[in-house]
Amino acid sequence: MTDRDPRTRRETNRRTPTEPAPPTESHRGAFGDYGGETGAFIERTFRERIVLVGVTLAGQHEEQTDADLDELELLVDTAGADVVARIHQRRTGPDPATFIGKGKVAELKETAEAFDCDTVVFDHDLSPAQQRNLQELLGRTAIDRTAVILDIFAQNASSQEGKAQVELAQYRYLLPRLRGRGGTLSQQAGGMSAGGARVGTRGPGETQLETDRRRIVRRVHKLEADLRDVARHRDVQRKQRGRSRAQGVAIVGYTNAGKSTLLNRLTESGVLVEDRLFATLDATTRRLQLPGGEAVLLTDTVGFIRKLPHQLVEAFRSTLDVAAEADLLVHVVDGAAADPEAQMAAVHAVLGEIGAGQVPQLVAFNKVDASDEVKRLVDRHMGSVGISALTGEGIDDLLLAIGDRLRALTTVTEMLVPWDRGDVLAEVHREGEVLSEAAEDAGMRIRARLDDAATAKLAAWQVG
């Protein structure tokens, strides 16, 4: 069990509600009306203290709620805060006003005050009205799992495209929550007049809320236009790669499963690798030579997670399209995770959402060096391989499997090429894998493995 395991940290980070909170300054707050001077959902100038709230609804199991809270605790830690307590509730359905009901809100407030908590984080999505009501009743910031994930993405985005994608997702999340935030957004925007309005920004009779909303909508439209330009540029790049006839392989998987480590192992690409969630967000493509001699384009993608915010899926669609357009997906699974099957299901759900559910998959169970469970998982999933992206164990088997899967997607075609068409012979060698050649009076008889595009292109020379 690593020091990142929430069950380990829980013993050291938490006090019981009866323990007095240590001496501290007044409540600091985070993003919203309760303090905080940055645009982040979690304040990172200090280590915030967080109380998690999980709700088991009708038809759900408490074990799954606990697992979701464990993962949420890791997300909060990645965002730069400490979980000091958890609140759990079982109910048939969400309360329309506060999600958990007035009685549980009172208990949550008591716990938050006992732990001097800065922010309360719900594992379920909160409606704008629920969020406002909770903040008024608790006297501190209340956010949900989506806000935490958006915060992490904002920290880790490095490229201009990644930053624009995250900013767009944050604004889409923020727009319906503008009520009551006018003052906060104005303070972030710059100078204020004595009456509270931003100097030079208010029109006659226009409320601050309307001004903020218009400003954000304009920014959203600008970001959407910029990302459409990026998408067009990506399409041009893909068409250029398509002319090389190199097949595309995309590495997908749950966040922190070892995708970037595998890319580095296979291609020595030097991609950032850290033991934390969503360490890398930008897609990285490298050329990979397979044992059979074929060259493929290998791309690392952003990690998936349960309850991945819809705003992020939409904002990162141009980046995630690489999975939908790949010839093969290498699905990396953390074989040492507490519930690898659930993580696989979460990845399949996101792949279906982005239109990549039908792309052929090769499952690679990672961390064979760290867990005996990997071998059992490989036995249960036919056609999968066990690897260690860290040590290199099983990598040769993975490369052979990738080559076999890609070849299985092609067609063996027999052709008879006249002797005076050396250009066609060269094209066959360039477009596919030549299996055999035999000289005949009429020309060279060739058996080659070609993809659909090359088969159609060379149809005039096919025989049999």
* Model-wide pTM > 0.75: no
Q: Which residue has the tokens 């998959």?
A: 361
Q: How much is the mean pLDDT over the chain?
A: 80
Tens-digit pLDDT profile for residues 386-441: 999 999 999 999 999 999 998 888 788 899 999 999 999 988 888 777 888 999 99
Tens-digit pLDDT profile for residues 54-101: 999 999 999 999 999 999 998 998 888 999 999 999 999 999 999 999
Helix axes 317-324, 208-243, angle to 10 degrees: 30
Tens-digit pLDDT profile for residues 108-127: 999 999 999 989 999 999 99
Cross-strand partners of 199: none
User: What pLDDT does residue 24 have?
Assistant: 41
Tens-digit pLDDT profile for residues 66-79: 999 999 998 998 88
CA 441 to chain centre: 58
Helix (H) or strand (E) holding 329: strand 328-334
Terminal alpha carbon distance of the chain: 60
Helix and strand numbers (H, E) in the chain are: 16, 13
d(CA 175, CA 213): 7
Average pLDDT over residues 230-242: 70
Closest Cα partner for 13 from 104, 74, 90, 88? 74
The pair of three-digit structure tokens given for residue 49, joined into one six-digit string: 């203290």
The pair of three-digit structure tokens given for residue 280, joined into one six-digit string: 């890398």
